Amino acid sequence: MAIVKTDYAIGDILEFKKSHPCGGTRWKILRAGVDCKIECETCKRIVIMSRLEISKRVKKVISSSQQS
């Protein structure tokens, strides 16, 4: 079973498996909590999605605001 990252922070850029109807696959975290507010990097559409749903859809983290 794959380990899924669920600790997303404000400013993280995520790449989803499937594209948005505008064609973009990159999303920026605007608000993190039980529900996360994310913004499409292509068309700037804002969507609120649960953290669990985001972790299912994410392909990889492009850039992280946390320094490790």
The DSSP secondary-structure symbol of 3 reads -
pLDDT of 4-61, one tens digit each?
566 788 999 999 999 999 999 999 999 998 899 999 999 999 999 999 899 899 998 8
Q: Is the pTM of this model over 0.75?
A: yes
The Cα–Cα gap between 68 and 64 comes to 9
* pLDDT at residue 41, as a whole number: 95
* pLDDT at residue 1, as a whole number: 44
* pLDDT at residue 26, as a whole number: 94
